[in-house]
Amino acid sequence: MIEGADPGYDWIFLHGISGLITKYGGANSHMSIRCSELGIAAAIGCGVEKYDELINFNFVEIDSISKSVKGIL
């Protein structure tokens, strides 16, 4: 989870991430496109309220099929 990401954050993909959640951004953002290219689940630009809720969980599940994100303690 990072608030926002630009092309300068490409290094994050070298660390074997299984998903990416950002507070800001959109479907056409660089990180959204990179996640799509690499087959990484992502919730890009989930908004302030949802991001601030999720940051408090130990684990977060991104369900690409139902297009949902939920926190898991």
User: Which residues contact residue 59 at a Cβ distance below 8 angstroms, ignoring those fewer than 6 apart?
Assistant: 71, 72, 73
Identify whether the C-beta of residue 60 lies closer than 8 Å to the C-beta of residue 71: yes
Q: Could you give the CA distance from residue 60 to residue 66 in angstroms, rounded to a whole number?
A: 15
Identify whether the C-beta of residue 31 lies closer than 8 Å to the C-beta of residue 22: yes
Q: Which residues are catalytic?
A: 30
